[in-house]
Chain A
């Protein structure tokens, strides 16, 4: 891993012979940040391929004497009761996150478009009201939402989570998308209107395609938020077969407190989908932040 950081400075020094103190400080700092970021994750991976016995040695085995994939096999084996649970949690998380993502795009796109294009009374007030949602912690809403969900019969269903998660994603989604729409010239739509398109057609055929990066960024954000959410899932769901991954893993390992390789393997597999998704689509995300949030 560190080779990446080390080859870079060498290429630079060849180009410029003058030693620049700030640049060296920057390189050393980057190496430090890389170690800080990567070492915990590497240690997670190394632990996950140890046996339970090898993980609980002092001093620790820096690299396992006998690497094994037993923990992964156990978690992914549908015949095994542990594997059954893990795969069910995984599926639950996937279902809840996907539905949340689709719904939040459907809700955020028209709202952001309206905040960008129309100037109805109360527009600024509503916009900031939506943004303010970001300010409030889950705990404030937890007790009343718990009671509300129980009253409308959504407790112990994935619907309660989907409805709640929608509101996490929405503020940032609307904010990002509004930035995008602000940057799309109105003239494009007006041209389409002159050619006979309705406003809705112009929106679907001109504005939507141009804002795809923003929509993708919005979708990633909602998905990751829903995938990683813990506190509502922890409070709203009590039946084992409905748990999402974060809560399921926590429940499981509060009973099996010494299975560190299993815990690390589960943490790793819980992280894989969101990390892959993010790495594949990250350029959209960074671009959306630049256009939506910063230039604004």
Chain B
């Protein structure tokens, strides 16, 4: 790789100016060599697909992906989606799934991080065990829980019957009203460790002196948490929750493997529904229009994500 001029290097943290942009780009030409591989991969696998999805969303497409035969139909795909009942059902499911999973995972993860913050014997082992669900494959997790929820031989049903709480094992995932909460439990099982790791990392940045000072001033445990610890963790919390929300919004494997969206769409979320439209029913145009709507929703979330991230940076700059 080429060497950059000493001048460019000295101005490591210079502000991007408005004038002479081209000259500046030329002066920094060698710098781009470092980022080029990353950007190239991103362009092929991201920019092109986004463009193509938008294009397809305005076409009526024949099944079998013989895309030369597609015909332009304007916004018809979008009106088809927005007027269908399934869309609103699936949107509602997605909301419950995303908000429920995100919020509970975050609270459980944060509480675990707080409980693990104090040193005790076996803390490392306990932490390691708690992280395992996050590491194992979602496919494995889905099968484990599917077996736990099994309507005939599932362990939860057997325990409920054994304790006399039910006459016969309840059917968790074939029941319209229990399927979504049951899947959310699985999702939280896999996800709270992520919140835990993030918040544990965050807790290490809270200055001990401040906590001790608060204690000397007579603050109780809750006041110390609320007035010292929590304000320090606001940025980490926002980033963690956004990352969780995005991951949940985009999750596919757990509903797909455990229920395939059933019974009667009760556990379909946007992603599984789009997948089924595209690869199941071969309605590529409608699926693409769906993807564009999804994309717009995510851009909105992404705006807050970037704001939260650059908020961190700004704070660092002023410190």
Contacts and interface: CB of A to CB of B under 8 A. Distances in A.
Contact of A111 (B34, B112, B249, B250): B34
Contacts, number: 317
A199 B144 contact: no
Interface string B4-46: 1000110111101000010011001001111101110110111
B301 interface: yes
A79 B63 CA distance: 41
Contact of A137 (B33, B250, B316): B250
Given A224-B135, A253-B143, A286-B201, A139 B41 contact: no
Contact of B201 (A1, A9, A253, A290): A290
A278 B131 contact: yes
B37 A110 contact: yes
A143 B53 contact: yes
Given A56-B153, A140-B294, A228-B137, A170 B41 contact: yes
A35 B7 CA distance: 59
A41 interface: yes
A44 interface: yes
Interface residues of A, number: 110
Interface string B133-156: 101111110011101101011010
B175 to A, nearest CB: 19
B153 A163 contact: no
A135 interface: yes
Interface stretch (B78-86, B120-128, B176-184, B208-216): B120-128
Interface of B: 1, 3-4, 8-9, 11-14, 16, 21, 24-25, 28, 31-35, 37-39, 41-42, 44-46, 48-53, 56, 65, 67, 108, 111-112, 114-116, 118, 120-123, 125-126, 128-133, 135-140, 143-145, 147-148, 150, 152-153, 155, 158, 161-162, 169, 189, 192-193, 197-198, 200-202, 204-205, 221-222, 236, 239, 243, 246, 249-250, 252-253, 257, 271, 274-275, 278-279, 284, 287-288, 291, 294-295, 298-299, 301-302, 305-306, 309-310, 312-313, 316
Interface of A: 1, 4-5, 7-9, 11-12, 20, 22-23, 26-27, 29-30, 33-34, 36-38, 40-41, 43-44, 47, 55-60, 106-108, 110-111, 113-115, 117-124, 126, 128-148, 163-164, 166-167, 170, 174, 186, 198-200, 224, 227-228, 230-231, 235, 245-246, 249-250, 253, 260, 263-264, 267-268, 270-271, 274-275, 278-279, 282, 285-286, 289-290, 293-296
